[in-house]
Amino acid sequence: MDTQHSDARAVLEGPDIVRVLTRIAHEIVERAKGADDVVLLGIPTRGVFLARRLAVKLEQITGRAVPVGSLDITMYRDDLRMQPPRALARTEIPGDGIDGRLVVLVDDVLFSGRTIRAALDALNDIGRPRAVQLAVLVDRGHRELPIRADYVGKNLPTSLRETVKVQLAEEDGRDTVLLGAKQTVPGAQR
Amino acid sequence: MSKTLIRGAKVLGGEPQDVLIDGETIEAVGTGLTDEGVEVVEADGKVLLPGLVDLHTHLREPGREDSETVLTGTRAAARGGYTAVFAMANTFPVADTAGVVEQVWRLGREHGYCDVQPIGAVTVGLEGRKLAELGAMHESAAGVTVFSDDGKCVDDAVIMRRALEYVKAFGGVIAQHAQEPRLTEGAQMNEGVVSSELGLRGWPAVAEESIIARDVLLAEHVGSRVHICHLSTAGSVEIVRWAKSRGIDVTAEVTPHHLLLTDELVRSYNPVYKVNPPLRTERDVMALREALADGTIDIVATDHAPHPHEDKDCEWAAAAMGMVGLETALSVVQQTMVDTGLLDWAGVADRMSFTPARIGRAGGHGRPVSAGEPANLTLVDTAYRGQVDPAGFASRSRNTPYEGRELPGRVTHTWLRGTATLVDGKLA
Amino acid sequence: MQRHLISAADLTRDDAVLILDTAEEMARVADRPIKKLPTLRGRTVVNLFFEDSTRTRISFEAAEKRLSADVINFTAKGSSVSKGESLKDTAQTLEAMGVDAVVIRHGASGAPYRLATSGWIDAAVINAGDGTHQHPTQALLDAFTMRRRLVGRDTGLGRDLAGKRITIVGDVLHSRVARSNVELLHTLGADVTLVAPPTLLPVGVPSWPCEISYDLDSTLPKSDAVMMLRVQRERMNAAFFPTEREYARRYGLDADRMAKMPEHAIVMHPGPMVRGMEITAEVADSPRCTAVEQVSNGVSIRMAVLYLLLGGAAFDAKAAPEAANGLVDTHPRTEEK
């Protein structure tokens, strides 16, 4: 389960993260033509913090509050039976729902694409958005499903022997993205 | 018949001696007895006891031959060191007539592993209403002297009084299963802390004690003797102690399992621990041991109660009550009474042979190990330690609560009237 | 709590809080247009009911179906069980059909424990009420209801019931609900008082982690929640109390008595209620009575239990020893795995 980050190297630092989130916010406004109907849904844990940060920036740009919520995908995962049961995180859909809206899913790292597949399934049970887009802080490649991000903070070519760890002030006390070597813990199944 | 010399046996736990058996009788007890022309059994420091006598066994035949027969039950008895067992009356049909008791008695004689002394029912069909033909059973070939409705209590005070009086005419005794029926309706286990947590219907100690109190007073009033089956509570001990101090002619038995096991085991919901009377608390266990040591409780009786596997391989409430005990009794007594210093081997001989034979009037059994006496003997390897393995039982049933438990002592030889029924732990 | 849920006593404080927190998330599914999760797709759960209990069975069934499990309902009545088939044979028959979990209701105390520990089957066992022993999901839904009402729906997350004063009134002797609640509420830090006529308290009750009182009126002002247990009229015939009228007078909850409770205090009932006996209609229908809420909370709790027992890898203590230490993985998700 756990991987160590003893020799991890920072590939994005605090100011970089602020900068790329600002860029993503502008791209959303641009592509969504003012972002009138945007709903931001973060995927716990860190996607939720990123979604909230994006919401603040969108409000600064557009002058309107943008609905923001969270979407826990645990119950929709395709690997539930490979690990002990996981604690659920909060799903919080903004009051007006998602029907007919442009939902932007927000996550920290895009990797196999399986999380996003699960998120699309979860959305399906909640309502019918006009469109769904995806914003991620880091895209590290190695997709296993036909999924791509609409907004990417940083494309980070990685090896499967590496790990990408995002730390955010809200959870970890600081903002950084670390690239390290994977050390397999005995008993952990990936 | 040939002669057998048992060499170097600690008779009743005393100094090593030789015991010479000639035919059905002990010819001599001493040191340096000649071994010329005789079969020699090297006792090698094992303890020699008079053949054990069990006043409380269920042999199930007739009626429940799927759980035990007279043959399998007496083979189990021989393995346990017994030379006489009293077979309880709750068979199908009930042993309430001369015909049934004679059949059981005869089967025991024919098989030759252990004498079977039938116990007659007190009331017809164990129903507690009408006295069975106690006199006819006594006069039959079986010569019944002990009567019991065991499994059921003779709860009607008038019937109990009449039975106590009636058997005086021929020296009989009523063995009471003390269980007030209304207080134990649907009862599943000892009533106390554990039953309250497990949600199993409680079986209060007072249900046993109130009947014992009544019956010792009845026995005093009509001048009869009374025997109390499988006494299980500290309170019962106090009542019997009081009765004896008043000179009431009461005797009492305790089972091996009540000397060792407590109701904490029921937390497993494993019906192998389901028994009547139920396993009680640690405090009761300690009181019973003390009472057996000081003679308040006269004897150990097994309440050997075989049940087929399916009657125990189920949920607690659906399971039958009872445990097999003949093949583990002496080991449990050694662990709880001898190894704890409460009783010496002479005491064991008293509680498991002399006194039960006397209470049940079992002629030829429970006699001293001395010249001229019938050669009913048991040789015990008291140094042995081993785990109980029910697969090795001679009993047809395996419902032992001791499976996998380490117990001391092992019966290696049993002689019934000079004939070896058990040799080196193997049935003859 | 590992593979089975047999007794509320098996739950640690953290296990119990996790179940309550998970149930809060499950409760939100009920507000969605599609009240269904794919989580237990392909898993088979059998509801093995040897005792009639339509309420409990449909609550479990709703929970199982909302998690997309395949559900088999087995009621003993009219089945081979009534023809003398043993619990063991029934269980092994179901096992042969490949069930992943058995939800069992049985009249004999300890039957679920036996099923889980006898080696008859491999499936997870969830106790849906056994004799007068335990009914752990009822205790969990009761605790869930209390936490929502007394601590708060959102503020309650991650918290227990420390310091809450809970009074349980009625037939404790015959009540698996009372036994389960005393264990669980104690684990969650609440102070429990049992109120009943002495005839309806077990002899061993002084060893339980709770207070005992025979006087309802003096206990009510010191209660944050008062749980009324069902009292069956048949108990009168066994001399547990003289008459229905006398029972109601001494131990029933009516409006006058309810007025003695603190303003925030709630009235609970596991159902089915015997109106006029332990509770008057006026109290039962008052907004302070949570009986109906308890029913809907029951579905959320049972979803949470099913998810936590069945939602992950099949438990294998040898293959994953670390999993034996805690119920679930509570690490925040760090990256896609």
Residue B418 to residue B387: CA distance in whole angstroms: 30
**Active-site residue identified among C56, C167, C187, C280:** C56
What CATH class does B52-360 carry?
Answer: alpha beta
Residue C197 to residue B307: CA distance in whole angstroms: 40
Can you read off the two tokens belonging to residue C247? 């029972």
Element (H, E) at B9: strand B3-11
Is residue C56 marked as binding? yes
Residue B70 to residue C187: CA distance in whole angstroms: 54
Residue identified by tokens 């007190």 is B122
CB contact, 8 Å: C186 with chain B? no
Residues with pLDDT less than 70, chain C: 1, 77-85, 314-337
User: Which parts of C131-265 are beta strand (E)?
Assistant: 165-169, 191-195, 211-213, 225-228
Residue C328 to residue A89, Cβ atoms within 8 A: no
Please determine, for residue B355, whether its predicted confidence score (pLDDT) is greater than 60.
yes
Residue identified by tokens 């017994």 is B82
Please determine, for residue B244, whether its predicted confidence score (pLDDT) is greater than 80.
yes
Which of B124-131's residues contact partners 24+ apart within 8 Å by CB, and which partners?
A: B124/B94, B124/B96, B125/B94, B125/B96, B126/B89, B126/B90, B126/B94, B126/B96, B126/B151, B126/B152, B128/B152, B128/B153, B128/B154, B128/B155, B128/B156, B128/B159, B129/B156, B129/B159, B131/B159, B131/B162, B131/B163, B131/B166
Taking only the tens place, the pLDDT of each residue in A109-159 is 999 999 999 999 999 999 999 999 999 999 999 999 999 999 999 999 999
Task: Tell me if residue C83 is catalytic.
Answer: yes
Give the DSSP letter string of B379-427.
EEEEEEEEEB-GGG-SSS----TTBT-EEEEEEEEEEETTEEEEETTEE
**Of the partner residues C28, C312, C333, the one whose CB lies closest to the CB of residue A81:** C312
Residue C117 to residue B199, Cβ atoms within 8 A: no
Taking CA–CA distances from C88, the nearest residue in chain B reads B314
Residue C336 to residue A82, Cβ atoms within 8 A: no
Residue A89 to residue C28, Cβ atoms within 8 A: no
Q: Scan residues 37-56 of C and list those with Cβ closer than 8 Å to A.
A: 37-39
Q: Where are the domains of chain A?
A: 16-159
Handedness of CA B28, B30, B33, B37 (dihedral sign): positive
**Strands ordered across the beta sheet of C211-213:** C211-213, C191-195, C165-169, C225-228, C266-268
Whether residue C186 contacts residue C203, with contact meaning beta carbons closer than 8 Å, is answered with no
Chain C residues near residue B198 by CB distance under 8 angstroms: 109-110, 133
Number of H helices, E strands in chain C: 11, 9
Nearest by Cα to B230 from B145, B156, B154, B298: B298
Confidence of residue A3 (pLDDT cuts 50, 70, 90): very low
Taking CA–CA distances from C32, the nearest residue in chain A reads A126
CATH 3.40.190.10 fits A16-159, yes or no: no
Is residue C312 marked as binding? no
- At residue C334, the pLDDT reads 46
- At residue C313, the pLDDT reads 72
Is residue C179 marked as binding? no
**Active-site residue identified among C135, C174, C257, C302:** C135
Nearest by Cα to C241 from C190, C300, C286, C198: C198
Could you tell me which residues of chain B have a Cβ less than 8 Å from any Cβ in chain C?
188, 191-202, 204, 268-270, 310, 313-318
- At residue A165, the pLDDT reads 93
Whether residue B79 contacts residue B109, with contact meaning beta carbons closer than 8 Å, is answered with no
Taking only the tens place, the pLDDT of each residue in B76-97 is 999 999 999 999 999 999 999 9
Handedness of CA C77, C78, C81, C83 (dihedral sign): positive
CB contact, 8 Å: C329 with chain A? yes
Residue identified by tokens 């001791």 is B402
Greatest Cα-to-Cα distance within chain B, rounded to the nearest angstrom:
67
Give the DSSP letter string of A90-118.
--B--TT-STTSEEEEEEEEESSSHHHHH
Residue C50 to residue C106: CA distance in whole angstroms: 5
Taking CA–CA distances from C24, the nearest residue in chain A reads A90
- At residue C324, the pLDDT reads 39
CB contact, 8 Å: C79 with chain B? no
Chain B residues near residue C133 by CB distance under 8 angstroms: 198-200
Q: What is the torsion angle, in degrees rounded to the nearest 10, for the CA atoms of residue B11, residue B14, residue B17 and residue B19?
A: -10
Is residue C272 marked as binding? yes
User: C109, C199, C207: which to substitute to probe chain B, counting the most B Cβ within 10 Å?
Assistant: C109
Is residue C230 marked as binding? yes
Residue C20 to residue A77: CA distance in whole angstroms: 22
Query: Chains that contact B by 3+ CB pairs under 8 Å?
Result: C
**Active-site residue identified among B18, B96, B115, B303:** B303
**Of the partner residues C88, C106, C110, the one whose CB lies closest to the CB of residue B198:** C110
Higher model confidence: residue C273 or residue B350? B350
In the three-class reduction of DSSP (H, G, I as helix; E, B as strand; rest coil), residue C287 is classed as coil
Residue A24 to residue B247: CA distance in whole angstroms: 102
Mean pLDDT of chain C: 89
pTM of the model as a whole? 0.90
Chain B residues near residue C87 by CB distance under 8 angstroms: 314-315, 318
Backbone torsions φ then ψ of B50, nearest 5 degrees: -65, 150
Query: Chains that contact A by 3+ CB pairs under 8 Å?
Result: C
Residue C138 to residue C129: CA distance in whole angstroms: 9
**Of the partner residues A83, A112, A114, the one whose CB lies closest to the CB of residue C329:** A83
Please state, in angstroms and as integers, the Cα–Cα distance from residue B391 to each residue in B78, B403, B426, following that order.
17, 9, 14
* ∠ Cα C277 C279 C285 (to 5°): 135
Residue C90 to residue C95: CA distance in whole angstroms: 9
Is chain B touching chain A, with at least 3 CB–CB pairs below 8 Å?
no
Residue A85 to residue C38, Cβ atoms within 8 A: no
Chain C residues near residue A112 by CB distance under 8 angstroms: 336
Q: Scan residues 87-106 of C and list those with Cβ closer than 8 Å to B.
A: 87-88, 106
| Chain-centre distance for alpha carbon C220 | 23
CA distance C298 to chain B (A): 23
Close Cβ partners of A126 (under 8 Å, ≥ 6 residues apart): A71, A93, A97, A98, C32, C33, C34
**Of the partner residues A80, A108, A166, the one whose CB lies closest to the CB of residue C311:** A80
**Active-site residue identified among C57, C105, C179, C269:** C105
Query: Chains that contact C by 3+ CB pairs under 8 Å?
Result: A, B
Chain B residues near residue C86 by CB distance under 8 angstroms: 310, 313-314, 318
Whether residue B64 contacts residue B92, with contact meaning beta carbons closer than 8 Å, is answered with yes
Whether residue A138 contacts residue A98, with contact meaning beta carbons closer than 8 Å, is answered with no
Residue B193 to residue C204, Cβ atoms within 8 A: yes
**Of the partner residues B196, B310, B313, the one whose CB lies closest to the CB of residue C204:** B196
Residue C88 to residue B313, Cβ atoms within 8 A: yes
CB contact, 8 Å: C318 with chain A? no
Instruction: Give the per-residue SS3 of B154-198.
Output: CCCHHHHHHHHHHHHHHCCEEEECCCCCHHHCCCCEECCHHHHHH
Chain C residues near residue B199 by CB distance under 8 angstroms: 109-110, 130-134, 176, 179
**Strands ordered across the beta sheet of A38-42:** A68-70, A38-42, A102-110, A131-139, A151-155
CB contact, 8 Å: C207 with chain B? yes
Please determine, for residue B34, whether its predicted confidence score (pLDDT) is greater than 60.
yes
Q: Please enumerate, by residue number, every residue of B annotated as part of a binding site.
A: 56, 58-60, 90, 150, 177, 230, 276, 303, 307
Strand partners, C134: C130
Confidence of residue B264 (pLDDT cuts 50, 70, 90): very high
Q: What is the mean pLDDT of residues B201-214?
A: 98
Residue C328 to residue A84, Cβ atoms within 8 A: yes
Helices B282-294 + B234-245 axis angle, to 10: 30
Taking CA–CA distances from A84, the nearest residue in chain C reads C312
Residue B194 to residue C179: CA distance in whole angstroms: 12
CB contact, 8 Å: C203 with chain B? yes
Handedness of CA B101, B126, B67, B417 (dihedral sign): negative
Size of interface A-C (CB pairs under 8 A): 102
Return the CATH number of B3-47+373-427, one of 3.30.70.1150, 2.30.40.10, 3.40.50.300, 2.120.10.80: 2.30.40.10
Q: Which domains does chain C have, with CATH numbers?
A: 8-135+298-317 (3.40.50.1370), 136-293 (3.40.50.1370)
Can you read off the two tokens belonging to residue A104? 């932007």
Q: Where are the domains of chain B?
A: 3-47+373-427, 52-360
- At residue C32, the pLDDT reads 84
Taking CA–CA distances from B186, the nearest residue in chain C reads C108
Residue A86 to residue C34, Cβ atoms within 8 A: no
Number of H helices, E strands in chain A: 4, 8
Q: Report the range of poorest mean pLDDT among A75-79, A174-178, B269-273, C262-266.
A: A75-79
Whether residue B289 contacts residue B257, with contact meaning beta carbons closer than 8 Å, is answered with no
Taking only the tens place, the pLDDT of each residue in A26-74 is 999 999 887 789 999 999 999 999 999 999 999 999 999 999 999 999 9
Nearest by Cα to B284 from B305, B266, B257: B257
CB contact, 8 Å: C306 with chain A? no
User: B182, B184, B185, B198: which to substitute to probe chain C, counting the most C Cβ within 10 Å?
Assistant: B198
Identify the top-confidence range among A179-188, B153-162, C76-85. B153-162
Element (H, E) at A153: strand A151-155
Handedness of CA B265, B267, B270, B271 (dihedral sign): positive
Mean pLDDT of chain B: 96
